[in-house]
Amino acid sequence: MKDPRVQQKRNGSDPEIQSGFYVLKHKDKDVSMIQMDNFTGRLEYVLAVYLPEELPVGCSGDGSSLSRWWSLRAIPDSRKGLRQVLSRTGMETSQALLLHSYGLSLTDHYWLQPVDRELYWEDLNFFENDFPEELGNLLTDSEVNEEGDDRLLKASPSASVNGDMKKKWVIRDGERSLLKVNTNYYGQQAVNEVIAGRLHERLGWKNHVSYSLERIRIRGTDYPCSLSPLFTSETKEFVSAYQLLMDYKIPNESSLYASLVSRAATMGLEEEKISRQMEYTIMTDFILSNTDQHLNNMGFLREPEQHRFTDMAPVFDTGNSLFYDRDVIPHGENLLDIKVNSFSRRETEMLRYVKNIRLDLEMLADFPDEAESLLLQNTKMPEERAEEIAHTVREKIEYLRMFQNGKKIWEREKYW
Ligand SMILES: Nc1ncnc2c1ncn2[C@@H]1O[C@H](COP(=O)(O)OP(=O)(O)OP(=O)(O)O)[C@@H](O)[C@H]1O
Ligand SMILES: [Mg+2]
């Protein structure tokens, strides 16, 4: 059975729901008055900005980019299975689904309050209040039985998390974690996250998300899925690099990379701290052939009262690596021609940003073997594939050694 509020909304019979006026809240502060289209969930007008300093990072003081900020908060249209979820919940768009959960999320402290209702952060926020898993189950193809239907439209943070992989927020022993799963590519992306964690541990880099593995049953088959503990909290918000630069025009003489570092520095972080993590990430992405270090996969932690950045967000989302979507695993100098979705178009060019740090590659002697065993233990991929992937890791480590010894490996000379 569908939620009666949805039916009323469709019939247009509930004046409260039709009104479409909301207050954008930051915890309990009134930030702005906006008008929403309740059917499509889109933000139509910003009627007033009361507290410009409380607007989400990246939004200019007049609130003109709030509509884009809101749309980026919803599940992206590219998320697999989204259409079926919308049809099952009776929602027109993922923004409508988000609005139904008051726009609450587990990554920051913003939400929308209908003007004619008195609601409080402490009663609604997902950091302290439990939420049902039904919507999350639907979003991850886990079985949802008929009895769970009336819980499908209960507020859920799974409606406000971006990214293409199927995912849901879960509560285990009182701790919130993000569960991500993909049913193709042998489920390799989830295992890759754990492999990346092992890499960071070996290198002694603490600021990373420690993913663990679980199995999830989808349509009668078991798949590996990754679980990452929440890195935000009631006192720590996540601001993606994309959000930070949303309203920023990159000066002609600057690069995207340099602009990001300097913008983050204006928010209170030391430049050295920012570049250290960015350079570290470039090098470890190189070892793992992570092709997807885009601006939503990196960011900052923010202290919401002081409006300051306090740290880099931990390194996360390294699943799109180790040739997870390739049938043929490249080797040799083909490993120097990998296209990536990041500050540069080719992976080797990314290394040009590395100026200040070196990795202790001696710590990685057994890492390729460990990656191979993790792939074999946790997926059903053929042994040769796991072996070949481990071989790329070995070769990449050697290329990185050359780079650290001063070779311009992007010039693609023949090395062996
Ligand atoms: N452990 C966490 N704690 C808090 N927020 C998180 C955590 N993990 C992910 N997020 C938030 O969820 C978003 C989506 O997660 P993630 O990037 O891992 O998904 P994805 O589907 O793999 O993304 P992509 O489309 O980039 O491959 C992140 O951009 C971040 O905002
Ligand atoms: Mg991501």
Domain tally, the chain? 2
pTM to 2 decimal places:
0.93
pLDDT at 11: 38
**Are 281 and 372 in the same domain?**
yes
| DSSP 3-state percent helix, strand, coil across the chain (nearest 5) | 40, 20, 45
Residue nearest to atom 13 of ligand 1 (CA): 162
Any idea which residue has 């049913």 for tokens?
183
pLDDT at 145: 67
258: helix, strand or coil: helix
Q: Is 213 exposed, middle or buried (0-12, 13-18, 19+ CB in 10 A)?
A: middle
186: helix, strand or coil: helix
Q: Is residue 302, in this structure, part of any structural domain at all?
A: yes
Give the distance, in angstroms, between the CA of residue 229 and the centroid of all CA atoms in the same chain. Answer: 13
Looking at the CA of residue 165, tell me the nearest atom of ligand 1: 21
Q: Is residue 123, in this structure, part of any structural domain at all?
A: yes
1 has a pLDDT exceeding 50: no
- Angle subtended at Cα 297 by Cα 365 and Cα 79, rounded to the nearest 5 degrees: 115
Reported confidence tier of residue 142, pLDDT bands at 50, 70, 90: confident
Please say whether the beta carbons of 293 and 284 come within 8 A: no
415 has a pLDDT exceeding 90: no
Any idea which residue has 């983050």 for tokens?
264
CATH of the domain at 366: 1.10.1070.20
- Residue range 205-214: mean pLDDT, rounded: 97
| Separation between Cα atoms, residue 387 and residue 372, nearest integer Å | 6
- Domain of 75 in residue numbering reads as 20-165
145: helix, strand or coil: coil
Reported confidence tier of residue 195, pLDDT bands at 50, 70, 90: very high
pLDDT at 148: 66
Gap from CA of 111 to ligand 2 centroid (Å): 22
Which residue ranges have their beta carbon within 6 Å of ligand 1? 107, 161-165, 178, 180, 209, 228-232, 238, 240, 292, 296-297, 316-317, 319-320
Any idea which residue has 């025009």 for tokens?
249
Reported confidence tier of residue 103, pLDDT bands at 50, 70, 90: very high
Reported confidence tier of residue 172, pLDDT bands at 50, 70, 90: very high
Phi and psi at residue 258, in whole multiples of 5°? -65, -40
146 has a pLDDT exceeding 80: no
Any idea which residue has 């890492």 for tokens?
367
Q: Tell me which of 114, 133, 165 is where a domain ends.
A: 165
Q: Which of 69, 107, 188 to mutate to test the pocket of ligand 1 (most atoms within 8 A of CB)?
A: 107
Q: Tell me which of 165, 191, 224 is where a domain ends.
A: 165
Residue nearest to atom 20 of ligand 1 (CA): 163
Read off the pLDDT of residues 245-265 as tens digits, 9 standing for 90 and up: 998 999 989 999 999 999 999
DSSP-assigned states of every residue in 341-369: SSSSSBHHHHGGG--S----GGGGTTHHH
Gap from CA of 212 to ligand 1 centroid (Å): 15
Q: Which of 317, 341, 342 to mutate to test the pocket of ligand 1 (most atoms within 8 A of CB)?
A: 317
Reported confidence tier of residue 413, pLDDT bands at 50, 70, 90: low
